A and B are shown apart, each in its own frame.
Chain A
């Protein structure tokens, strides 16, 4: 997902001031979309993004060259952006905790028989992506953040755990439950359309 990472990290390790603009140019847009989805306010987003890149620069200045070279820049930037976003909105950095066991809790990733009802499949179809985005917005906040990061930002579960500061197991459970709820919503929507 991030083919330019290694090369850019090496360049940043050699001369941060000279190559920092490349980092901004490469990640500015995707981070902006990520934040804009949450704030729905362009000026706020711009403020958050500017602050994110300023904080990232100050952190990179602190890192030894070897650490920059091995840095996974993209999830690291998301982590900073998430932190800035939380500070701006005054919300807690972690998603709300929900009990691990709930009455409707399944034990595995059960696939629906109708493949057209799979969020994964819907995500592949650009036209329906916006529909999926609207549905994700209907999810409870603690699922919405994780499922959004998983689908729209294409981050791995491990990276999401790092960004949000959550144990990997928790992230897996949340994403699993979020997807299941999404399927329910999709099914309801399908029924409604049919009806």
Chain B
């Protein structure tokens, strides 16, 4: 649908009525059909819903009407519909198919579709953005508020209205402010949507703006406000005059962190919301339920108590601070000289725990979410579970295949992806605790080759793995759902890395090429354009607009790679020269592992001599060196406390340590 204001008028001598009579009445059915089809409301065919293969075929049909019908059928299948097909439809060239796919995803909300729907919020067509916003509103607590808030500023009124409707569906308290602001939107349909959405929040702080909206210049908005007011309290608010304070005052109050206290104190002191506006209390019939009143009183009491505690804590904190400063001064003044960072010395602590249970090089290590239990895998395929604090072995799981990736799905469940010699990939689930169990959770057989790499997304249930012949498959293991796959023919991969937002996968091939792929659509995003080839790659950041990665080049330089999705511009520049970090040896050193701290401030760089250097992630300056390992470090991972670090090494140990 292109705006057509620039088109010249048809040259004709007919009046509009003649034209209408002659052209419009001749074949109204196709026009109506087109409208209904575009809305995904076309008459149902007698065709059965069809299997995935038939649906996939229909989704590739040249006719958009067939594709939209297939999307409709996918929507009717419900949550069993292959997500991959819906995501294909969401990327269709026809806006109505994309919109229908978003609608189908909204009717059967699945968290795995969130990122694709967020992307659809940037679609060029308003109807797709509208449906995507509505679908995201169905995701409940998982709905990405930031993306929806951004959609509330869309240039199209229908999208803004849908985004506000979605915020109302989510029902989070934080949506009160944007919904209140939307009541000032220039477009009546947005104001109307906001007035209706406020009714879903069950927030009495919305009353002043709703009472104001009752006086809106557009009758549709005032009607919507009245409908919502009736939902609040059987219509007793609907008869009240508008409040006296301005919208700016309301906004100020809403933004105040103490509004809950003020609200509860004022509302439950036997006055109405109008006493807050400085008006005479108006008698209200049960402004809130008894249960709500009790909750607010508890909240109020809690707030008063916490305020008193805060006063005492402030005093204590000041005293502790002074004591700390004094001790620090004493320590500094007692030292004869500062200790420069030298090879062989470190200001990292000695290892708290050194786990020596493995009898071969340790390849991977993973912390349980509680930070108490560790899992590590060696080159023989043996997985060991042990206590982080003592190094005591809890379980040993020998396995014939090679463990490619470990993740904890909860504090007592470990998932391990194994590459099997018979060219298959298996995911075993190990449950530890008083009733340990092993279960084969997932298996992919007859792959083109033995998988070389696999990587878990940070959701701990989505796995990207190399299926041979350059194919990478992405599966949600918990749902047993093939999300997508992509292929760079004949490529052999040495690393797969998920972006921090889980939307993309960086694939590093043995030729040193790095490619970024969309993890939900399987679309190729970009290829590293550099005269340098990579031997290791990690993500620094990812967003809808740009991505930043670090890679170790085959000539030893650590490079930064920045890519902008809009302009498709990329920048590659050196971050750390080999000569800078190659401080321990005059011989050849390679980078064996890279890891960024959770706050992205520190880069840990492991070299083939077993040293781990901590460097400022921005300047590259050396902060300290950890010297606990006697051979190359293969894997580095931060603990859930964001302070302790676990390193797995070829010296067959796993060590847990922290910066001193």
Contacts and interface: CB of A to CB of B under 8 A. Distances in A.
Interface of A: 17, 20-21, 24-25, 28-29, 32-33, 36-37, 39-44, 46-47, 49-51, 53-55, 57-59, 62-64, 66-67, 76, 79-80, 83, 87-91, 129-130, 133-134, 162, 165
B541 interface: no
Given A33-B20, A36-B19, A133-B17, A24 B36 contact: yes
A67 B224 contact: yes
A54 B35 CA distance: 7
B188 A21 contact: no
A79 B192 CA distance: 14
Interface in B189-231: 189, 192-193, 196, 217-220, 223-224, 227
Contacts of A32: 20, 24
Interface in B1-44: 1-5, 7, 9-10, 12, 15-20, 23-25, 28, 31-32, 34-36, 38-39, 41
A67 B223 contact: yes
Interface residues of B, number: 48
Contact of A88 (B4, B24, B32): B4
Interface in B171-194: 187-189, 192-193
A62 B5 contact: no
Contacts of B4: 39, 41, 43-44, 47, 88
A63 B161 contact: no
Nearest to B19: A36
Contact of B41 (A21, A29, A76): A21
The 6 closest A-B pairs by CB, nearest first: A37-B16, A40-B9, A44-B4, A33-B20, A89-B5, A130-B15
A24 B35 contact: yes
Nearest to B165: A62
B595 interface: no
A63 B16 contact: no
Nearest to A25: B32
13 contacts: A17-B41, A20-B36, A39-B4, A44-B4, A47-B1, A50-B35, A50-B38, A57-B39, A59-B189, A62-B165, A62-B193, A76-B220, A88-B5
Contacts of A46: 31
B455 interface: no
B15 A58 contact: no
Contacts of A80: 189
B158 A28 contact: no
Contact of A36 (B16, B165, B192): B16
Interface in B113-128: 127
Contacts of B161: 58-59, 62
Contact of A40 (B16, B134, B158, B165): B16
B162 interface: yes
B130 interface: yes
Contacts of B9: 39-41
B23 A42 contact: yes
Q: Which of A41, A54, A88, A162 has the most CB of B within 10 A?
A: A54
Contact of B17 (A24, A33, A63, A76): A33
B227 A64 contact: yes
A149 to B, nearest CB: 14
A19 B39 CA distance: 13
A66 B230 CA distance: 12
A87 B189 contact: no
A25 B192 CA distance: 26
A47 B28 CA distance: 14
Chain A interface mostly = helix
Contacts of B39: 20, 53-54, 57
A46 B3 CA distance: 12
A162 B130 CA distance: 25
A24 B34 CA distance: 11
A134 B7 CA distance: 22
Contacts of B218: 162, 165
B605 to A, nearest CB: 53
Contacts of A54: 35, 38-39, 127
A58 B16 CA distance: 29
B495 to A, nearest CB: 44
Nearest to A46: B31
Given A25-B32, A53-B35, A76-B220, A44 B16 contact: no
Contacts of B196: 62-64
Given A59-B161, A133-B17, A134-B15, A87 B227 contact: no
A70 to B, nearest CB: 8
A115 B350 CA distance: 107
Nearest to A129: B17
Nearest to A17: B41
Contacts of A50: 1, 34-35, 38
Contacts of A130: 15, 17-18
B16 A28 contact: no
Contacts of A20: 36, 39, 41
A44 B130 CA distance: 22
A28 B35 CA distance: 10
A133 B188 contact: no
B329 to A, nearest CB: 65
Contacts of B2: 47
A67 B230 CA distance: 12
Given A87-B3, A134-B15, A29 B20 contact: yes
Contacts of A64: 196, 227
A146 to B, nearest CB: 17
Q: Which of B2, B3, B165 has the most CB of A within 10 A?
A: B3
Given A58-B162, A59-B189, A67 B227 contact: yes
A40 B11 CA distance: 9
Contacts of B16: 33, 36-37, 40, 133
Q: Which of B2, B10, B39, B223 has the most CB of A within 10 A?
A: B39
Given A33-B16, A67-B224, A28 B32 contact: yes
A59 B220 CA distance: 11
A42 B158 CA distance: 24
Contacts of A37: 16
Contacts of A41: 4, 7, 9-10
Contacts of B165: 62
B217 A165 contact: yes
